[in-house]
Structure 1
Amino acid sequence: MNSKTFCQKLPKVECHAHLSGSIPLEVLKELHKDAKERQPNLGPCPSPSEYTDLRRVLFFALFGDHIYHILDTPKAITRATSAVLKSFRDEGCIYLELRTTPRKFPRGSDTFEEYLDAVFDAIDRNDQSSMMVQLILTVNWDFEPDKVREIVELATTARNAGRCVVGIDIAGDPRKSILRTESFTRELIQAKLNGLKLTIHFAEIVEQKPFLEKQLADLTPDRLGHAVFLTPEVQADIVRLKRPIEICLTSNLKVGSIASLEEHHFRWAVENQVPVLISTDDTLVFGTTLSEEYEWALGLLNHDRQKLLGLMVGCRSRSVGGCRAKGKSSNGA
């Protein structure tokens, strides 16, 4: 069995996938057509591969200027979520942590609950016996503390009601992380006190280096996303505390964080026994699949299949939802 087939057949775990960035292209086109009927002035459906430049902020414009305008109703969100779940299930994913930023619909409720309910509608229809789904709610670095509090309270209420919300993610323009306030931080600490796990997009650009140690000390994240531009001190901290890293190989390559996969810090993490979680980030934007990410990782492991399987065992133990066996209920964290 060749590496491609081996990785396709593997029962896989995905812990860093953004809903809006993982919609299959054909479904996005259908949703755009529907949205055009509601919004005659809506621009053409974007070509996601043209928006991978993280430093020029084109990446974030894809969502704010385009995709969010297409996903402008609860029905559109449910349709998009269902398509994303199916795409991962078809890839052989048995455990998925899907993350999304709650938004308020232009012609709907003035709370985030309507958005979350639309996502739940799709998750409730998912076949839990083949793929367990957990949800992480995302806040952006530039959100006002009141907005962060509202999303944390939404996540906490959903979790306490037995829904599948298990954590909070911090994402968005990494340059804005430098301006993080104490009030912003307090709301995230409260999320942890409420029993939610915290994962943060970390060290995505070199300009963040002087602030990394303080981010770790203040936020005490349970996992780190990307973690590309690390200082020696932060590297030592990650190795000492075995802080799990969500590894997104294709994403890091296509946004220009690394020049080649050969220089990716995945190998450094594995060599230093740092837990890694092989992930896609945004399958739509980066034109990748979970199987392909596992195949790239296998190549960086010199095609050592047993080592890859060992990493997968560690990956399951580091999932914020505990990565329980297939067939279990999605309720709870």
Structure 2
Amino acid sequence: MTTPPSLETIKRAPKALLHDHLDGGLRPATVIDIAGQTGYDGLPATDVDELALWFRTASHSGSLERYLEPFSHTVAVMQTPEALHRVACECVEDLAADAVVYAEVRFAPELHINRGLSFDAVVEAVLAGFADGEKAAAAAGNPIVVRCLVTAMRHAALSREIAELAIRFRDRGVVGFDIAGAEAGYPPTRHLDAFEYMRNNNARFTIHAGEAFGLPSIQEAIAFCGADRLGHGVRIVDDMDVSGDGSVRLGRLASILRDKRIPLEMCPSSNVQTGAVASIAEHPFDLLARTRFRVTVNTDNRLMSDTTMTREMALLVEAFGYGWTDLQRFTINAMKSAFIPFDERLAIIDEVIKPRYAVLIG
């Protein structure tokens, strides 16, 4: 008889992760260690457990803007090549230990130049850290493939430069581009030249949209910017009507999102912390999954949410009663939506994900 998904058994399941922020996933001990080495004295706590609790508590703010405030501390300790390399390497090791077999980890180079690093030097340090993390994970028996997304902050005016950076490093581990930050007042259309540059270079990009802002954010990301994926996208439910008998009617925007199979990078715990949804039980993930949108499970910020891919999946299992076939579908959804070439995606699906899930499904 197949063992039902539990926190312990889910940990063994192979996972694909599309939405994880490098500066939101540091180990608390690393934050304290680098702060001591670099002379940063702004940490709210210097005990590992107290600092971890502070990040988790401060991030549970009810708004995206306040949720982003604790990042000032993690970014502050990521200003040297050595620190960036270490954080990137540890990120890979932590994901691999959680049975993540493929991950796209994103970060904003413009936030890491306060000590004089160039954009190129920042990206080189992170990519070297990812490569060393992959080697360490493989040696530990947890092979993983990690690729990078470079992010531009939507309130700034550097998106075209960051898009050019993505293309410059496209054959060295950077597989896409993203914009992030506070949504209200900073629509994605402010960055049309960056998205046009990516399209002109046959490159892929995702856009944070429909998290703290409503349908107009999603409409712009899809119709005007041409996003390949949406970061979060939870507010697409505002274009869906659920009848008393459970039937669902999709509006025009929701229909095109589903029809075009545009992936939704959903981050349940983070969405509760920012106030995008009231609770995991009220998260639209299940409604979107049942109506066959291409939903994926993601961590967003592992430090801020005190989470892992295992925990995010377990929360969904507890809330919605998912079984192994559901978790396999969400994992394959993510792998299908990755920004690496088709043959590489297919190899991970056919040679890693499906065989390992076959054992779990029984």
Check whether TM > 0.5. Answer: yes
Counterpart of 2:30, as a letter, is V
Is the Cα–Cα contact under 8 Å of residues 141 and 180 in structure 1 kept in the other structure?
no
Q: Within the alignment, does 1:199 sit opposite 2:202 as a pair?
A: no
2:24 corresponds to 1:21: yes
Distance 1:297 1:158 in 2: 36
Structure 2 counterpart SS, 1:26: helix
Cα distance in structure 2, aligned partners of 1:276 and 1:237: 15
Asked if 1:222 is matched to 2:228, the reply is yes
Shift of 1:12: 0.9
Structure 2: which amino acid aligns with 1:297?
A: L
Alignment partner of 1:286 is 2:305: yes
Measured in 1, the distance between the counterparts of 2:288 and 2:333 equals 13
Deviation at 1:258, TM superposition (A): 1.1
| 1:142 counterpart residue number | 155
1:113 aligns with 2:120: yes
Structure 1 position 151, deviation (Å)? 1.1
Q: 1:98·1:134 contact (CA, 8 Å) conserved in 2?
A: yes
Q: Superposition pairs for residues 56-205 of structure 1, below 5 Å?
A: 57-63=65-71, 65-103=72-110, 104-109=112-117, 111-127=118-134, 129=138, 130-144=143-157, 147-159=158-170, 162-178=171-187, 180-181=189-190, 184-205=191-212
Give the Cα–Cα distance (whole angstroms) in 2 for the partners of residues 311 and 179 of structure 1. 27
Inter-partner Cα distance in structure 2 for 1:247 and 1:274:
11
Give the superposition deviation at 1:34: 1.6
- Segment drifting more, 15-24 vs 253-262: 253-262
Contact 1:95 1:133 (C-alpha < 8 Å) held by counterparts: yes
> Quick one: higher RCO (CA 8 Å, sep 6+), 1 or 2?
1
Structure 2 unaligned segments of length 5 or more: list them: 46-50, 240-250, 349-362
Q: How many Å separate the matches in 2 of 1:276 and 1:228?
A: 10
How far the C-alpha of 1:58 sits from its partner, in A, is: 2.0
Counterpart selection for 2:38 from 22, 35, 38: 35
Distance of 1:307 and 1:107 partners within structure 2: 46
CA distance in 1, matches of 2:64, 2:296: 27
Structure 1 partner of 2:243: none
Q: Which residue number in structure 2 is paired with residue 331 of structure 1?
A: none
In structure 1, distance between residues paired with 2:108 and 2:76: 14
Q: CA RMSD in A?
A: 2.0
Pair 1:318 & 2:318 matched: no
Q: Which residue of 2, 5, 8 corresponds with 1:5?
A: 8
Over 3 Å counting, the alpha-carbon distance change for 1:178 and 1:106 in structure 2 is closer
After TM superposition, give the deviation of residue 203 of structure 1 in Å: 0.8
Aligned residues: 314
Kindly provide the CA deviation profile for residues 50-80 of structure 1, in whole angstroms up to 9, marking residues without a partner as x.
Answer: 13325272222222x3222221211111111
Residue 63 of structure 2 aligns with an amino acid whose one-letter code is: R
SS in 2 for 1:237: helix
Change beyond 3 A, Cα 1:294–1:180: same
8 Å CA contact 2:263, 2:296 repeated in 1: yes
Aligned residues of 1:275 and 1:314 also touching (Cα < 8 A): yes
Residue 261 (structure 1) shift: 1.4
Alignment of 1:269-284 (within 5 A): 269-284=288-303
TM-score (norm: length of structure 1):
0.87
- Does the 8 Å CA contact 2:134/2:146 hold for their aligned counterparts? no
Structure 1 stretch 27-36 or stretch 296-305: which is displaced more? Answer: 296-305
SS class of match (2:151): strand
Assess, with a 3 A threshold, how the Cα gap between structure 1 residues 194 and 249 changes in structure 2: closer, same or farther: same
What percentage of aligned pairs have identical amino acids? 23
Query: What do the CA deviations read for 1:167-207 (whole angstroms, capped 9, x no partner)?
Result: 011111111333843xx21221211221321111111124x
Query: 2 CA distance for matches of 1:201 and 1:307?
Result: 25
Q: How far apart, CA to CA, are the structure 1 residues paired with 2:333 and 2:113?
A: 39
Task: Write the distance in 2 (CA, Å) between the matches of 1:43 and 1:261.
Answer: 30
Distance 1:246 1:284, change over 3 A: same
Q: Write the letter of the residue equivalent to 2:69.
A: A
Q: Is the 8 A contact 2:67 2:273 kept in 1?
A: no
